[in-house]
């Protein structure tokens, strides 16, 4: 059984993906990292460079699954399910 997941793109991810949102299908047991690889394979090098660097998933990418922030270490282990929503945000600098 496959999982259909909604992917939403914000900021520079939206520009790199060339879309606001789209669906991706994962095989059963597919992880968040699997989804990000599929999305970058589909959208191309611009999205890939926004998501990954030489160390793997970029530290300046904020990723949520169903509105919960997921850190880099969990991305490879978090199994996605039918109907999940993944959102990709650039980290916005700031402070007081």
pLDDT (0 to 100) of residue 1: 80
**Fold of the domain built from segment(s) 3-90:** Ubiquitin-like (UB roll) (3.10.20)
- pLDDT tens digit at each of 96 positions of the chain: 889 999 999 999 999 999 999 999 999 999 999 999 999 999 989 999 999 999 889 888 899 999 999 988 899 999 999 999 999 998 876 655
The 3-state secondary structure of the chain, one letter per residue = CCEEEEEEECCHHHHHHCCCEEEEEECCCCEHHHHHHHHHHHHCHHHHHHHEECCEECCCEEEEECCEEECHHHHCCCECCCCCEEEEEECCCCCC
Q: How is the chain split into domains, by residue range?
A: 3-90
């Amino acid at each position: 059984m496959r999982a259909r997941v909604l992917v939403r793109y914000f900021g520079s991810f939206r520009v790199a993906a060339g879309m606001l949102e789209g669906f991706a299908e994962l095989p059963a047991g597919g992880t968040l990292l699997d989804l990000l690889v599929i999305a970058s394979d589909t959208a191309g090098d611009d999205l890939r460079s926004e998501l990954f660097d030489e160390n793997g998933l970029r530290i300046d990418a904020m990723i949520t699954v169903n509105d919960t922030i997921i850190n880099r270490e969990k991305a490879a282990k978090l199994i996605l399910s039918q109907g999940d929503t993944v959102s990709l945000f650039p980290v916005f600098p700031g402070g007081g």
